Structure formats: C-alpha cells, structure tokens
Amino acid sequence: MENVHWIGQSKEAPPERSSMAAFGSVAVVPFQHKKLSSVNYSCRYFYANGWKKKKKLCFQRKRWIVSSTCPPEETSPISVSFTSAPVPHLSHFLTDLDTFPHPFLLQDATSYRPLNLNFISEQDGVINKVVWNKQEPQNLVIYPRAGPRERIVFDPKSVKAAIVTCGGLCPGLNTVIRELTECLRYQYGVVDIFGVLQGYRGFYSKEWIRLDPERVDAIHKLGGTILGSSRGGFDLNKIVDAIVQRGIHQVYVIGGDGTIRGAAQLSEECRRRKLRVTVASIPKTIDNDIPIIDKSFGFDTAVQEASKAIDAAHTEVSCFPNGIGIVKLMGRNSGFIALYASLSSREVDCCLIPEVPFVIHGRGGLMEYVAKCLSERGKMVLVVAEGAGQEYVGNDPSVEQLDASGNKKLGDIGHFLYEEIESTWKKQGMEVSMKYIDPTYMIRAVASNASDNIYCTLLAHSAVHGAFAGYTGFTVGPIHGRHAYIPMTEIVTAQKQVDLRDRMWSRLVNSTGQPDFSPRNIPKGFQGPCNIYSSPQQSQSQESIL
C-alpha cells in the first residue's frame, strides 16, 4: 500500500504528480464499485519513470484497498544470478599448454584488418535468456562468446585437422565442410586438413581424403556431403586410436544428437588419455530438435522445400472434386518443419505433429474436421510430421525396431492416414480425390539456400576459432542471435520440441483453423464413431460406418 499514491479509472487523467503525496496510501475508488466486495480494477501506479497498470481491489475495513502488493519500483534491484557454462578446455587437463599469437596479429594484409580488431575476450559471454519477468529471480547461464582469440593454443603450422559428417543428410553439410577448410587454411594457415569418409566408421575403416580450398571450392552448390555419411559404426576406442595414429589435433564432427553423443564421448576419452586434441561439433539436423541454439542449419532450406510440396498439394486438391492432399514431412519427435512450412504456406487446413496427440474418428476427431473442410471449401490440405500419431502405426513396442544408430524406426503415419481417410469416404459412397506427397529425401538432399549458406559459414568459422582457443567437447550455435560455445553434454540432455504454449503454435492453429483433436478434448461418451455427414438423428443408425 505504501507505494499507492492515487487510484482512478484508467480513463481518468492522473492528477498532477505534485498532488499525489496527499493521497498517501488511500485508494480512491469511484462510487459504483463500493457495492462489490472485490473487483479487478484497472488502476495505475505512478513511478518515477512512468505508469504501470492493473491490480485487484477488495473492500476491507470499510475501505477499498489494493489486495495484492504493489509492483516493485522500477529502480528496485532484480534478483539475478549468473553461472558460467562449463565448456571443457584443454587447460583443464593439460598443464603445459603453450599459447601462440593469432595469425591475424602476424599479418599485415589489409584483408585481415577488420578481423584483427574483433578478437573476442574470454570475459565475453552470451546469456541464455533475453525475455524476463522482472519480478522473478533469474538464474542465467553465460556461454563463452564464439570468435577468434588473440592467443591460441596450437601452432597453426603444425595442426592436423579432421572433418567428418554423420547421420542423415541435411542441406548445408557441404557448406560447413567448405568453410571449415577455408577458415583453417586462410585464417590460420593450416595445411593438413583431412576428410573422414562415411561417418564415424570411416575413422578406422576407410582411407581419408585431403581437403584444401581448391577441392572444396564449389561444393556449397551441391546437396549431400562430399564426405559421405552413415548411421551406426561408432567404436570409441578404434576412433581415438585412429586420431592418435594420424596425429590429429582438431576433430570437427558435423552431426545431430546421436553424433554429438558420440563426440562427447570422444572428447572425454581424449581427456582421459590426456591428448592435446580438441573435439568440436557443428550441430546438424533437419528436424531442428537441438536444444539451446536458435535453430539448426538446413532448417530454413527444409522449410522452403517443404513449402513447395505443400504448394503442389494445394494445386492438386484445388483441381479435383473433394481433393484431399496429404503431405508427409520429416520430424521424428519434433514437428518444426511441419509447423513452419504450414505457417509459411497458409494453404494448410490441418497440421499434425508428434507433440500433439489426435483422435481420428468420432465427435471432435480428425475425420469430422475433414468433412467440415470438404463441405465448406471442397478441398483439404493436411500436413503430417512423420513422428505424429505413432500410436496408430507404431511397431509392436515389445519388439522395438531400431536403426543402426539406435533411433526408433517409425510407422508410416502418412500412408495410414491416406488409407483411413479414403476408406472412410468410400464407405460413405462419396467421391474423394486423394493426393499423397512425401518429399522427405528431396528436401534433405538439396543444397542449402542463401541464408543457410551464411549461417553454415558462421558456424564453421566459430568452430575453428573455438578449437584454436582450446575448447573441446563443445558445440557452436547462436543463442538469441549471438554465436556461443556450448558444452556437448548440455546439448544431448534434451531434445527440442514445439512448445504448445508458445505463440508460434497458436499462430499455426489460427492459420489452419483446425480444432484441438487431442483425446482430452473429445467429450466423454463420444469416443466412438459417428456419422459426420448426417444430422444427429441419422448418425445413430449409421454409427458403425466411420
């Protein structure tokens, strides 16, 4: 109460500031509210730097008072604590770590000048949070800011670096390979750069290839990875033995969550053996399910390509009677591609993602909504992420099927929905024109677009700077737009998923107009089938059809 100087309707002009003190802690309330015991009253508090609004008032001891405490003064201290992210560093286990000046400092070339003014200090950090509630205590994590350091822990002339790509394809892999090579050669002068072929297994079972700027010059225009990739084949000891045998100092691993789990073990094993070897990862996954970083490379390109598939589906369904187009997009556990591509296209009527369970038949279910779309618009575009609705198509959980990397194999929800929708309407004697598009490999295999190319460049350069700075067991990526070094162990603890409380999901639902199909939203007693085309009386007799 002490902070309340004046309360009135928000429409009323506040009194002159000089007259406020006279009101002290008394709440001045318009007469009509006195009959109520409590009211959400739009009142405003005056602070030195402006007006803030809204508190609840209640009637106590013959007087209206503010029932909750006033917000703190703008000037009052916000409780904030900081923790530094524990990014492993060679100095943590090597006592005799020499340092060298960054090659920029030794060059006179004009082209280095803008860069050598931009060294990053070890005191520079990137904070994990930019949106705060000022009244809540904040526990913030500071990650080392990515970029070149004035002192580096390797003599660049003697460095041997190895680059490997693992897991599924993703637009931008070649750009990252190119930019790692270019940065190593042109910003540090590294000559011995090797490409490990076909993923982790290539460390111990394949010949390596030499990489240099000429070899990688035009590869960013190509999809896939010039090094090849694979799933499985991670053998910790054999890989570290190969690294030792070839005298490698820097290992650059381009891969997703599985790859980074492996890379974290590599880095730990190098630490255990006290090797002067850094392991850096550049996070890759088309599914965009890597936590902490803003997004993974290739995601923009994937959304752009996925939108083309949606456009095609829309064109098809617009030209045929009762056209229903199903587009199946990637996303094992996270529906980001489906969400963003649907939002960008604006022609999608329904988007199903792994994060949201859905009921197919019965009141409030998917089939009822399909009927609504057909009757109102004569067409429907449905986008489904591959990991959605696995309860309908999942393999027998007692004999879970895994791929070579240990990822769960998914049932085919796209074809299941195709058949389910088609047979439902056939039973009704209705003509529908079903169209099915699965652009998965077309999306994954393309070269990265312009914005991903720039993003890949930044990631690759950041990784090289981090390795020369002595960090190991780290991933690079932007946190709220600023590139940082993140411990691999933090990256692999969780998978990023679409946050259903986030406004991006609301935007999607607003754009498609789809209802909430989740089982909890279906009224009790309506779990069974119903006839979606008939009046309630008719539906009784035809319930068994759907």
Ligand X SMILES: O=P(O)(O)OC[C@H]1O[C@](O)(COP(=O)(O)O)[C@@H](O)[C@@H]1O
If contact means CB under 5 to 8 A according to the sort of partner, which of ligand ADP, Mg ion, ligand X, none does residue 347 touch? Answer: none
Figure out which of the listed residues 155, 403, 419, 499 binds ligand X, where binding follows CB under 6 A.
Answer: 403
CB of 256 to ligand X, least distance (A): 4
**C-alpha to C-alpha distance for 153 and 137, rounded to whole angstroms:** 38
Q: Which residues contact 504 (CB under 8 A, 6 or more apart)?
A: 339, 343, 498
Q: According to CB under 6 A, which residues from 243 to 302 bind ligand X?
A: 256, 285-287
Question: Residue 287 catalytic?
Answer: yes
* Nearest distance, CB of residue 201 and Mg ion, angstroms: 17
- The residue count of the chain comes to 546
How far is it, in rounded angstroms, from Cα 312 to Cα 254?
A: 32
**Does 295 contact ligand ADP by CB under 6 A?**
no
Q: In the complex with ligand X, which residue's Cβ is closer, 222 or 545? A: 222
386 binds ligand X (CB under 6 A): yes
**Binding residue positions for Mg(2+):** 257
Closest distance of CB 177 from ligand X, Å: 16
Residue 233 interaction partner, one of ligand ADP, ligand X, Mg ion, none, beta carbon < 5-8 Å per kind: ligand ADP
Q: Which of 192, 235, 287, 452 is catalytic?
A: 287
- Among residues 177, 206, 204, 205, the alpha carbon closest in space to that of 193 is found at 177
Phi, psi angles (nearest 5°) of residue 214 = -65, -45
What Rg do the C-alpha atoms of the chain give, in angstroms? 30
- The Cα angle at residue 178 between residues 172 and 180, in degrees rounded to 5: 105
The item of Mg ion, ligand X, ligand ADP, none sharing an interface with residue 330, based on CB under 5 to 8 Å by kind, is ligand X
- Contact residue for ligand X among 168, 172, 199, 335 (CB under 6 A): 168
- Contact pick of 257, 347, 355, 438 for Mg ion (by CB under 5 A): 257
| 256 touches ligand ADP (CB under 6 A) | yes
Which member of 173, 211, 292, 330 binds ligand X (CB under 6 A)? 330
Read off the amino acid at residue 57.
L
As annotated, the binding site for substrate includes 285-287, 330-332, 386, 441-444
Report d(CA 288, CA 286) in Å as an integer.
5
Site residues (CB under 6 A) for ligand ADP, limited to 143-202: 166-168, 199-200
Binding to ligand X by residue 328, rule CB under 6 A?
A: no
Name the residue among 388, 433, 442 with its Cα closest to residue 412.
388
Helices (H), 280-346: 299-319, 336-345
- The SS3 assignment for 352 reads strand
233 part of the interface to ligand ADP, by CB under 6 A: yes
Selected binder of Mg ion within 256, 389, 414, 487 (CB under 5 A): 256
Task: Tell me how far apart the alpha carbons of residues 389 and 411 are, in angstroms, rounded to a whole number.
Answer: 9
**Residue 456 CB partners (closer than 8 Å, separation 6+):** 172, 175, 176, 179, 220, 297, 448
| H-helix or E-strand spanning residue 522 | none
Figure out which of the listed residues 3, 42, 318, 407 binds ligand ADP, where binding follows CB under 6 A.
Answer: 407
**Binding residues with ligand X: total (CB under 6 A):** 11
Cβ proximity to Mg ion: between 258 and 411 the closer is 258
Residue (of 339, 344, 281) closest to 308 by Cα position: 344
Q: Give the β-pairing of 50-60 and 63-66.
A: antiparallel
Residue 329 beta carbon to ligand ADP: minimum distance, rounded to whole angstroms? 17
Amino acid making up residue 365? G
What is the set of active-site residues?
A: 287
Write out the residues near ligand X by the rule CB under 6 A: 167-168, 256, 285-287, 330, 332, 386, 403, 444
